[in-house]
Amino acid sequence: MGLKPVVDFLKELSKNNNKEWFDEHRTAYQGHRVEFLGLVQVLIDGIAMFDPSLTGVDPKKCVFRINRDIRFSKDKTPYKTNFGALMGDQGKKSEGTGFYLHLAPGHNFVGGGMYKPQPDMLAKIRQEIDYNPKDLMAVIDTEDFKSTFGKIQGEQLKTAPKGYPKDHPFIDLLRYKSFYVLKEFSDEEVAAQGFVEEALVVCQKTAKFNEFLRNAIN
């Protein structure tokens, strides 16, 4: 599955982000969207082998719309210049853990976790880190994790969350408000024939991180 045409289309869209150009190239967009849906289907099927919660998930429910919501934005460009998909048990509406695929020229990545979990879920994750930090460290404090993802991503509080001391030994982890990991890919890597397999490897590594989060919130 070669994704170079998809990448090239997104590059052109970023240069011509207006309705007139998009209408002229709508047929091309629809073709690339079908190709992206096919990629998401392959990833869902592959992920379901090690995360059964994705079994039978419809890729159409995972892929985000390309139209931007510009009602409250100063940026009035009408279209996103990326293809994105959140693969969770409820598709892009999943509130729990998920896997994310993002294709955008110069900013492609694969990963997962939880983005801005609900307050009750966030409290449970922090409690699990407090009670069982070794379980999380066993996932993130490994050479494999660090070489793939670096570290956990997500916005952090400037100070300790309520109920935890500022000198808590794992205060840096407790300060997170989102918990996700990302592996970036160049445009050339995305366009290469082996990208799907590489993306699945990243998802399998993400699954270990997701398992900790899922156990915490459940």
Mean pLDDT, residues 27-44: 98
Question: What is d(CA 166, CA 148) in angstroms, rounded to the nearest whole number?
Answer: 30
pLDDT in tens, 109-132: 999 999 999 999 999 999 999 999
What pLDDT score was predicted for residue 2? 72
What values do phi and psi take at 184, rounded to 5?
-85, 150
pLDDT band (50, 70, 90) for residue 1: low
Closest to 2 measured CA to CA, from 98, 85, 103, 112: 103
pLDDT band (50, 70, 90) for residue 195: very high
pLDDT in tens, 93-113: 999 999 999 999 999 999 999
Q: Is the pLDDT of residue 70 over 90?
A: no
pLDDT in tens, 132-178: 999 999 999 999 999 999 999 999 999 999 999 999 999 999 999 99
SS3 135: helix
Residues 6+ apart with CB under 8 A from 63: 33, 36, 37, 40, 83, 84, 85, 92
Question: What is d(CA 175, CA 166) in angstroms, rounded to the nearest whole number?
Answer: 10
Q: For the CA atoms of the chain, what is the radius of gyration? A: 19
What pLDDT score was predicted for residue 77? 95
Question: What does the DSSP 8-state code read for residue 63?
Answer: B
Mean pLDDT estimate for the chain: 97
Question: What is d(CA 206, CA 148) in angstroms, rounded to the nearest whole number?
Answer: 10
Q: Do 110 and 101 form a contact (C-beta atoms < 8 A)? A: yes
Please tell me the total count of domains within the chain. 1
Report CA torsion sign: 183, 156, 51, 105. negative
Mean pLDDT, residues 37-60: 98
Which CATH number belongs to the domain containing residue 46 in this structure? 3.30.930
Mean pLDDT, residues 175-187: 98
Owning domain of residue 207: 4-217
Q: Is the pLDDT of residue 92 over 80?
A: yes
